[in-house]
Chain A
Amino acid sequence: MSAHNASGTVYGLLAEFDSPSLLFEAVTQCRDKGFKHWDVHTPFPVHGMDEAMGIRGSRLPFIVLAGGITGLILATLMQWWMNAVDYPFVISGKPLFGLPAAIPVMFELTILFSAFATFFGMWGLNGLPRLHHPLFSSRRFRRASQDRFFIVIEAQDPKFKLDETRDFLASLGGLAVEEVVDAADGAESVEG
């Protein structure tokens, strides 16, 4: 799995394509090979890519739901405890804990915690924050935000075998296949 070359650990293999239709064909073949740790990079959203890659739905909605329910419960308990237990105080003849008066805050905290859960959940699932990504060391990859389409198969994929996977990617009809090296990792291994 941990393939090395002269300058450090191989992060993965990058294949470059110049049209979405070629990319689609290639992506379908990668999916059928059963790769798990791989990704596709395009300059614009390509409809149907998720299905072509065989990506299952994100776990994020469940994290958001949990966040929202936490906010709802917290807001209810907080208002009940503050207004009816810790410091009971009758305001304009309303019950110490009146549900209608409590609903705006319940609503707000539900939204707030859902938003937090969405934001930080997305970070967590994507392994953020990180300041560098091995793909940034590839000059070729810069065109991912302009006019080229890329497939990356990571070295940590159980089915990844440097030579075999390179040959496979080369057979997909792209422009080029490149070995991406994790420079930061390489520097560390030199020291060690």
Chain B
Amino acid sequence: MAHHHAPSLDDTKTTLDGLGRKVFMISGLVGVIGLAVTVVLGLGEGDDLRHFSFSYLVNFAFFLSISIGALIFVPLQFVTKASWSIVVRRMAEVMASVMPVMLVLAVPVLLLSGRIYGWADPAVAGSHGLAHKAAFLSGGWFTARWIIYMVLWTVFSWYFWRKSLKQDDSGDLALTRKMENMSGFALVVCALSVAVAAFDLLMSIDHLWFSTMFGVYYWSGGFVSFFAVLTLVTMGLQNTGRLTRIISPEHFHDYGKLMFAFTFFWGYIAFSQYMLYWYANIPEETGWYLLRSQNGWGWLGLATVFATFVLPFCGLISRYAKRNRKMLAFWAFWLIVAQWINLYWVVMPEFSDSFVFSPMDVTGFLGVGGIWFAAVTRLAMGHSLVPTRDPRLENSLRFENA
């Protein structure tokens, strides 16, 4: 920009300071109380925690998908040498770096896997449908895989986060080079492990069903949620006087574009998966959709199509909507709810043939979400909310959409 000054980091507040402790305490408290209430409600069902297991899985999978979105987003910025995103990258770094906490949150899923997963049922052991999958879908190996995923994701998310923090102190350009060199490898490893993790976490609930697209289906939904959360977090921070001016309508415009693009991408993936099975009409493939198109689940599925794809597609298509703060906030909030409903529709029909909804789904959301947000806040405390000495920071500050 030749004709007016680009904002600088001195124009705004870039640390959490007192706010961090407050948000950490409140969301941590919401998380602990939420989880406690969910367990009590779950025990109250008197079904040996079966309903609780499925309900918890929805919320765990949802918040994990947001962190996975961040996990992919960060190396993506390095592999493309993007400059627009420098001012928002630190927030993504901490959202990805809560993986160790996600491993702790995965423990209930691992402990209760016998109530969730079809392959864990002793009655199906040795059955023809499981014969070739039994070696892979077994309790011990399943748990081991989750530890491997979480270690991998922690290593890669922390690699970028710690290097980025180190650059805040030293301003060393070699760190950027190192992160760029690592980014391609990180993307390949994370993408593959996320795909297999999605098979494990959600697809294997029905041990007979398979879809090679399922990993992308889970990831792309999470990517939408991640951008939506990033949008709302940025707005929230700006409302407290942080990151104002340096994150401009130009950056929000990009949030909007990414939400729009991946809303469409998700719709494309989800439909491709559906249409092939609908058209081929082979029992072991269509069974999964049949279960989800009856007894109330069909209506929820249809609502999902509109909520996650049709309506946000129309709502976010115009440039005006992407640059209007209130409209963007509305659609970000909407997409978070919609993606959650989609995961609910993926998981819950396996628990009950006909539609169910319980308060435990909401308290579980607050529980897992509270812990997740507290962990993110904790990691963001004590450091700048933007990479202060990234070599491309200037470009990001003066970024404008062409």
Contacts and interface: CB of A to CB of B under 8 A. Distances in A.
A103 interface: yes
Nearest to A57: B319
Nearest to B271: A103
Interface stretch (B64-72, B73-81, B272-280): B272-280
Contact of B3 (A48, A61, A104): A48
B1 A101 contact: no
A104 B275 contact: yes
B318 A21 contact: no
A47 interface: yes
Contacts of A57: 319
Contacts of A8: none
Contacts of A45: 402
Interface residues of B, number: 14
B2 interface: yes
B275 A103 contact: yes
B315 to A, nearest CB: 14
Interface string B1-13: 1111000000000
Nearest to A94: B279
Contact of B2 (A24, A93, A104): A24
A20 B275 contact: no
B17 interface: no
Given A47-B1, A48-B1, A61-B318, A100 B274 contact: yes
B2 A92 contact: no
B1 A100 contact: no
A52 B4 CA distance: 11
A100 B278 contact: yes
B127 interface: no
A23 to B, nearest CB: 9
A148 B269 CA distance: 48
A179 to B, nearest CB: 29
A46 interface: yes
A47, A61, A101, A103 interface centre (most CB from chain B within 10 Å)? A47
B77 to A, nearest CB: 21
Contacts of A92: 279, 281
Contacts of B353: none
Contact of A48 (B279, B318, B319, B400): B400
Nearest to B274: A100
Nearest to A22: B2
Given A48-B400, A61-B319, A100 B2 contact: no
A46 B2 CA distance: 8
A52 B1 CA distance: 11
A101 B2 contact: no
Contact of B275 (A24, A93, A100): A100
A53 to B, nearest CB: 12
B279 A100 contact: yes
Given A48-B400, A61-B319, A93-B281, A21 B3 contact: yes
A32 to B, nearest CB: 14
A61 B317 CA distance: 10
A24 B274 contact: no
Interface string B123-143: 000000000000000000000
Interface string A87-123: 0000011100000110110000000000000000000
B4 to A, nearest CB: 8
A73 B31 CA distance: 48
Contacts of B274: 100
Contacts of A48: 1-4, 400
Nearest to B275: A100
Nearest to B317: A65
Given A21-B3, A92-B281, A47 B400 contact: yes
A21 B279 contact: no
Contacts of B4: 48
Contacts of A93: 281
A93 B279 CA distance: 9
Contacts of B2: 20-21, 24, 46-48
13 contacts: A20-B2, A21-B3, A46-B2, A47-B1, A47-B400, A48-B3, A48-B400, A61-B318, A92-B279, A93-B281, A100-B275, A101-B279, A103-B271
Interface of A: 20-21, 24, 45-48, 52, 57, 61, 92-94, 100-101, 103-104
Interface of B: 1-4, 271, 274-275, 278-279, 281, 318-319, 400, 402
Q: Which 5 A-B pairs have the closest CB atoms?
A: A24-B3, A100-B275, A100-B278, A47-B400, A21-B2
Given A21-B3, A61-B319, A104-B275, 4 more contacts: A20-B2, A47-B400, A94-B279, A100-B279
